[in-house]
Structure 1
Amino acid sequence: MKQIGLLSDTHGHLDSVALKHLKECDEIWHAGDIGNMETADALAQIAPLIAVHGNIDGQEVRSVHPKHQRFTCEEVDVWMTHIGGYPKRYDGNVKPEIFENPPQLFISGHSHILKVVFDKDLNLLHINPGASGIQGFHQVQTLVKFTIDRKDIKDLQVVEFGKKGRV
């Protein structure tokens, strides 16, 4: 069993509330727009980090964190990418593979909109954790925590940090 902390779109900013929640996790997953290697390194000091780069990430981040991560956690097939779209509106970046070989859990960021949707057609859970940073149009900083226990994804919790930009 693993407790996962999932975030995206930090844009180089790590909030102390987010860090407190991530310290409870066995692994941290970042769905892109990390911002810089200092942010990635700080997360990796808390727990093992699995991350993808996003569209704002520079060459240093891109050289370490790929565009796509496809991996198994416990017994769950996971695919994480920054720009992936949503059920019924998947991005060309993931077509046709998502239809030919769908994962059990599909994670993307980019939109800064927190969404958890089950795709009945592909029998997969899609999670976008929203945005944990302070750059962008979102009003509330968010991350998602959940547990993977063998084949089960459970105990999903949305963590809201309050209003973006508060001190």
Structure 2
Amino acid sequence: MDAIRLCLLADTHGILDPRIAAVAQGCDHVVHAGDIGSEAVLDECAAGTASVHGVRGNNDTAEKWRGDPAICARLPASIRLALPGGTLAVVHGDAWPARDRHRRLRAAYPDAAAVLYGHSHRLIVDDSARPWILNPGAAGRARTYGGPSCLLLSVSDSAWEIAVQRFAKA
């Protein structure tokens, strides 16, 4: 079986960097870890992909959402995606304090192969233990800390591989 490619992103706050949109179009799935900000971001993520999955971030509220507020209201707080070789758990991450977030995420999702979160806007790949803790950084314009970024996850029954995609600030 060929590997499945996922584009992991977060914290677009209504604007998806076009370079990340281009990366997403080459993937089988796009997974957004919250603070999406607009219906347009979801539409851009869906262009050319098999599916888009997303969770609600602390800024994904009816007052701040651009587009149909019913779409924002339907976003779950967390999801689990069954993938070849394991499960990817997805949350926004604002419920856990930064100082021990990774420990708490690992404790909350011990059966997952990886946990994807956003909120901090900081790109992190913590593969020091299972589950891996992944934060793709910010895929829009707000607080990108070095430029917009996302993660590419390739999964198969026998292996999971992660690659960082970071672009210069526009």
- The alignment's TM-score, normalised by the length of structure 2, stands at 0.82
CA distance in 1, matches of 2:116, 2:145: 19
- 2:24 aligns to what? 22
Q: How does 1:17-166 map to 2 (within 5 A)?
A: 17-47=19-49, 48-59=51-62, 60=69, 61-83=71-93, 89-90=100-101, 97-98=108-109, 101-120=110-129, 123-136=130-143, 138-154=145-161, 156-163=162-169, 166=170
Instruction: Check whether the contact 1:140–1:160 (CA below 8 A) recurs between aligned residues.
Output: yes
Percent of aligned pairs with the same residue?
25
Quick check: which one's strand share is greater? 1
CA 1:126–1:96 in 2, change beyond 3 Å: closer, same or farther?
Answer: closer
SS at match of 1:49: strand
CA distance in 1, matches of 2:149, 2:115: 18
Instruction: Provide the aligned length of Structure 1 versus Structure 2.
Output: 159
CA 1:73–1:88 in 2, change beyond 3 Å: closer, same or farther?
Answer: farther
CA 1:87–1:10 in 2, change beyond 3 Å: closer, same or farther?
Answer: closer
CA 1:95–1:160 in 2, change beyond 3 Å: closer, same or farther?
Answer: closer
Q: Where does structure 1 differ by over 6 angstroms across 4 or more consecutive aligned residues?
A: none
Comparing 86-95 with 42-51, greater Cα deviation is found at 86-95
Q: What CA RMSD, in Å, does the superposition of the two structures yield over aligned residues?
A: 2.5
- The alignment's TM-score, normalised by the length of structure 1, stands at 0.83
CA 1:3–1:96 in 2, change beyond 3 Å: closer, same or farther?
Answer: closer
Identify unmatched segments of 5+ residues in structure 2: 63-68
Instruction: Check whether the contact 1:83–1:93 (CA below 8 A) recurs between aligned residues.
Output: no
1:100-149 Cα shifts (integer Å, max 9, x gaps): x43111110110110001253xx211110000111136231111112011
CA 1:80–1:153 in 2, change beyond 3 Å: closer, same or farther?
Answer: same
SS at match of 1:22: helix
Identify unmatched segments of 5+ residues in structure 1: none
CA distance in 2, matches of 1:108, 1:128: 5
Instruction: Check whether the contact 1:29–1:49 (CA below 8 A) recurs between aligned residues.
Output: yes
CA distance in 2, matches of 1:88, 1:75: 30
CA 1:125–1:36 in 2, change beyond 3 Å: closer, same or farther?
Answer: same
Is 1:8 the counterpart of 2:10 in the alignment?
yes
